[in-house]
Chain A
Amino acid sequence: MIAGIFDSGALPALQRLVQFTSQRHAVLTHNIANLSTPYFQPRDLDPKTFQATLRNAIDQRRASRTPTSGPLTLTDTEQLRFRAGGIEVTPTPTHQNILFHDQNNRDLERTMQHLAENTLAFNAAVELLRNEFNMIEIAIRERV
């Protein structure tokens, strides 16, 4: 019964988005902490891959007998392994920037941009989750 409530609508997708953004936040703070560590290679999780995986899972559910309810089945990627209680991650090095003399290819501006975007995505997902929970609460109380 409870499982049916929490597996319906946007809840599973939002849950995965919160899990992904909080994991990526840890990876990005790690990159910022090591801005001046020699031989450090920044790593990242690709949000595009995650979004594509999520899109596929939602499309799959839409094509099933219950288009708006039921759990989402996300396929594991090279970086992400989806478990029931969260996402296990393997961040991969980003070879985008020039290598500095201390063998660190830091990219401060882009990292801070990713951090800001990721925080916004996380906050948006949590706000939407809050709305969903409020709606469930209204349904349980049977009054607006």
Chain B
Amino acid sequence: MSELWEVLSEHFPELSSGFWVTVRIVAISFVIAMAVGTAVASLRIAPLKPLNWIGGVYVELFRNTPLLVLLFISFAGLRRAGVPIDAWVAGTASLGLYTAAYVAEALRSGVFAVGRGQIDASLSLGLDYPRTMRYVILPQAFRTVIPHLGSLTIAMIKNSAIIGVSLLALPDLLHQARLVNSRTFATNETFFWAAVGYLILTLLATFAVRRLEARYAIHR
């Protein structure tokens, strides 16, 4: 039992720096995922077939590519092609764009829940399509899918661990845990604390989602 606390106290600097790096990665990826996801969802439900098609291609591409493969392509692949992308950009962009595909699909289902009726009514009242989306449909769609977006955020927090142990080697929580493990060989104890770190983040996300749900969610 004392080994457990020993690992934490002796290696707290490494583990906590890893924790904060994970927080940064997740924060940046979250912003990318929400922004791009909303944009792609709009494309998917637009009344123009070409836009639908572009959105569709994006979703299929990023949903069906494993995150690790995406990381390799965005980092090693692009660099070999001459693009001097760095590990932070490649990592957060990959995680963000990957999650965005799922966010887009979630929002799309939210829009369907709002109903065609409202789109038609808004258009017939004289609002153009972008304004209809912005002021009428999307706000409702977001509020309908808050729980779903919460799940996607939790999944994204856990997926962030892949970045640290891939070629990109960002010093996130899991990377630092493996570092500490390689020095102490106290595998169980070290990864216990790493799990605790991720749990803190996912529980925070869960509580945030619950608060948002209580205030804003529309239950259909």
Whether A associates with B in a native complex is: no
Interface residues of chain B, those whose CB is within 8 Å of chain A, are none
Interface residues of chain A, those whose CB is within 8 Å of chain B, are none
